[in-house]
Amino acid sequence: MSTAIAEVATDESTRTRRKWNAANLDLIITPTLALVLLVLAVFVWQYTEFDSTTERILEPASLARQMRQQITLSFWSTLLVVSVAVPLGILVTRRGAPKLKDALVTVLGLGQAVPAYGLIVLFFVWLGQGATTAVIALATFALLPVLRNTIVGLQQVDSSVIEAGKGMGMTALQRLRKIELPLAVPVIVAGVRTAAVINVGMAALAFLIGAGGLGETINAGLKLNRPTAIFIGAALVALVALAFDTAGALAQRYLRPRGV
């Protein structure tokens, strides 16, 4: 008996260690990449002769503003995605919910096939220009990964666990709150992480409808043929994306329920 328990314990500790390693790898690779990129950007900034046009494009004050806009747009659109996709995912997985789950996933999949550029322009035509339009457009584009992961996350919860909860007299809401959602969190957070990174990338197009962001620098660099400016703009977008990704990895690690 005691040996059996010891065996189980060892088995468990190796499993936890492996899990921990995987999570750690995530938390090592992304920041390392970001660091390399940062060093590279600083290097380029320091050792390249800027002509007056490049200097004007890469003016620190406007870069700082664009960076702030980039982060704000990404943050709010991610928040909007979560607050729409998660409840929607919960809703369509309830028993007796209209069978629109598959239809919804298909439609949103098609939506994602529309080029990001086109989607932003469509929303501009509909809602006019500005940051709000940009946030809504970004959120629409990133809705699918979160919705799909919410559905999958809720569906992969062992049905016998839910059955046991029901058999003990937990109401549907108690089962959702205490069993289904906690057990679906790792999968949902993974979806949110994907969505956040998509949003950062997409926010580089927000300048098209006057919502600013680092896209302005890249665009100016392209139009005026200044490769240094393009590189600096792209590197900053990538840095923001990697920062969001790291935040996502941290969330995945600390929001995962214990024992799972």
Partner 1 sequence: MTTAQIELRHVSKTYEGVEEPAVKDLSLSVEPGEILVLVGPSGCGKSTTLRLINRMIEPSEGTIVYEGEDVTTVDPNKLRRRIGYVIQQVGLFPHRTIAENIATVPELLKWPKAKVAERIDELLELVGMDPEVYRDRYPSELSGGQAQRVGVARALGADPDVLLMDEPFGAIDPITRDRLQNEFLRLQSTLRKTIVFVTHDIDEAVKMGDRIAILREGSQIAQLDKPEVILAEPADEFVENFLGSGAILKSLTLKRVRDIDLDPLVVLRDPVHRGQALTALAESGSGYAVLVDRDNRPVCWINERSLNSSSELAKAGREISVQLQPEDTLQDALSAMLQSSSGHAVVVDGTGRYQGCCTIESLAHFVVGMGNGGTSLETTGRSA
Binding region for partner 1 (CB under 8 A): 4-5, 8-9, 12, 158, 160-171, 174, 178-179, 182-183, 257-260
Task: Tell the residue number behind the tokens 């949003």, with chain if given.
Answer: 199
* Least distance to partner 1, CB of residue 260, Å: 5
Q: Is the dihedral of CA 235, 245, 111, 214 positive or negative?
A: negative
CA distance 234 to 149: 29
The residue among 60 and 169 lying less far from partner 1, judged by its C-beta, is 169
Secondary structure element (H or E) that encloses residue 248, with its range: helix 227-255
Paired tokens of 197: 């990174």
The residue among 6 and 100 lying less far from partner 1, judged by its C-beta, is 6
DSSP state of 114: S
Is the separation of the CB atoms in 214 and 204 below 8 Å?
Answer: yes
* Least distance to partner 1, CB of residue 13, Å: 10
Is the separation of the CB atoms in 244 and 200 below 8 Å?
Answer: yes
The residue among 26 and 180 lying less far from partner 1, judged by its C-beta, is 180
Paired tokens of 72: 């704000």
The residue among 113 and 260 lying less far from partner 1, judged by its C-beta, is 260
* Least distance to partner 1, CB of residue 5, Å: 8
* Least distance to partner 1, CB of residue 157, Å: 9
* Least distance to partner 1, CB of residue 174, Å: 7
The residue among 96 and 167 lying less far from partner 1, judged by its C-beta, is 167
DSSP state of 256: S
DSSP state of 211: -
